[in-house]
Amino acid sequence: MIDKRNLVLAVCVFICGWIFGSNNRPVPIITSSVGGASYEEGYQTNAGGKLAAVKNRVSTGTIHIVNPGDSIQSAVELAQPGDTIQVLPGTYSETVYIDKDNIHLMGVIDEGRRAILHGLGNLNDAILYSGNNIVIENFHIKNYKGNGIMGQAGNNFEIRNNLIVDTGIYGIFPQLGINGLVEHNVVSGIADAAIYIGMSDNVHVAFNEVFDSVAGIEIENSRHAIVENNNAHDNTGGILAFVTPGLPIKTTEDVIIRNNFVSNNNTPNFGAPGSMVAGIPSGTGILIMAADDVIIEGNIISNNKTSGIIVSDHSYASNVTIDPHSEPNSDRTMILDNVMLNNGYDTIPEVMALALAELHTGPVDIVHAGPSDGSCINNRHRYQVVGIGDYQNCNFNNTDNIRSYLLPDGAEPRVISATDRGEIAYLGVCAGCHSFTGRLIGPPVPVIQAMYANNPKGLAKYINSPVKKRSNYPPMPAMSYLDSETQLAVAKYMLALRE
């Protein structure tokens, strides 16, 4: 028979040991997940009603544990599709590249302590992925030179609950992906865009905080995107939806920007000189440029000194080379009810000139420059407006019937064959910095073609181990994680590319 007094004593000893010795207890390994570290199984929503982009998220594979001092990349290389990699709190200085499908990369948070990916100011990228059905969550990423988390042509992705600080050009940058969710991240100190959705479709960006960057959230050459419930503050520009000329995908359309806080985006522009984002006026709340079918609804837009909302075409943008294949106007911009407070109180000369042409003086909440077809606004009397004389009243009041553009059954996994390896690598890796007609972060493709004409091996060598050649461009990060066949394939593709 068990002595009750001994049992009580044992329980007390256990509880006291747990309370007073908790700093030495092992970090728990997560074998199931509800409401905290990740979501339960689901596709459009899971059991808790959360949106999800990756189907069947409950891990059925092996859990790989990475301890401080171990290599995260080594665990990735060991992992098989369906596996989860749990990285325990500690500091890791490396670049992680995921080139396989169905991998869940998860930092374990214990008493507020996270797994830290530290670039030491000299590593280029923290996490890169080209696989399908990828989940990345719970990391603290800082002090990289290129990107915090970058997707390179992988479909069905979820990037959530990461703290990203000072990671160079981009914080979170899914490129050429279909069906993705970016949520609950805090990103700051980025020289281009804190969250940059590039040439992607069916993306949901929600509940993020972005600040102290040139651009807070960008939807670029992308379609079917919702940006909602974010806090974009103290950037140069808060939320942007636009077309960058010279990229293979020529449109940005069907974007909903709703229920965001967009405030105090008056940070001086520190983008790379000559780049497209370097032309964003400090004090821009929401910028729509050459994008179509954009709905702006339910946002609180305040204290942005140039304007709360700017709608423009390419002719009014600096640092833009016109692309004859891209329609340059912003058509069917739909502005529903928003709260606008103290915007445009110290605007730029270009806006002042447009305002004076309409005998408008004083602050500016909304300004439209250039032609537009089919645009509309509700309750225009509430706002101080310039250039929206052609806007009609919208025939709807809200987008309540649209919860998400995520695909209920997910996107088909992208399969990269040997014949299209060069094209996919260019679209997913290179096109974010090298367009055909204009300057982005790196020189245009024709400049590269002139330098490496008939020399794809020379270009492949540079891709693998670049050196800085131009003082007016930032250094190019090494693409050494790409295998030699892919480097040569993308070099051949770029040298043969024609607009």
Which residues are bridge partners to 116 per DSSP? 91, 140
- Tens-digit pLDDT profile for residues 41-63: 233 455 446 789 997 665 678 99
For residue 437, pLDDT beyond 80: no
> Which whole-number Å values give the CA distances from 423 to 132, 153, 248, 452, in the listed order?
18, 11, 10, 18
CA separation for the pair 310, 288 (Å, rounded): 6
Pick from 220, 130, 207, 206: nearest CA to 170: 220
For residue 1, pLDDT beyond 60: no
Reported confidence tier of residue 39, pLDDT bands at 50, 70, 90: very low
The rounded percent of the chain whose pLDDT value lies above 90 is 59
For residue 200, pLDDT beyond 70: yes
> Comparing 248 with 274, which gets the higher pLDDT?
248
For residue 428, pLDDT beyond 80: no
3-state secondary structure of 488: helix
For residue 22, pLDDT beyond 60: no
Mean pLDDT calculated for residue range 24-31 = 52
pTM for this one?
Answer: 0.85
| Number of other residues whose CB lies within 10 A of the CB of residue 36 | 10
- Burial level of 268, CB count in 10 A (0-12/13-18/19+)? exposed
For residue 250, pLDDT beyond 60: yes
Q: Between 3.30.70.600, 1.10.760.10, 3.40.1280.10, 3.40.50.10210, what CATH number should domain 421-496 receive?
A: 1.10.760.10
> Which whole-number Å values give the CA distances from 261 to 17, 208, 232, 286, 299, in the listed order?
46, 10, 6, 11, 6
Instruction: Detail the DSSP E strand segments found in 272-312.
Output: 284-289, 292-297, 300-302, 307-312
| 23: alpha, beta or left? (left if phi > 0; alpha if psi -120 to 50) | alpha
Mean pLDDT calculated for residue range 208-229 = 97
Provide the edge-to-edge strand list for the sheet that holds 84-87. 63-66, 84-87, 103-107, 134-137, 157-160, 178-183, 201-206, 223-228, 253-258, 292-297, 333-335, 376-377
CA separation for the pair 50, 43 (Å, rounded): 9
For residue 273, pLDDT beyond 50: yes
- Tens-digit pLDDT profile for residues 368-423: 998 889 999 999 999 999 999 889 999 999 999 999 999 999 999 988 766 677 77
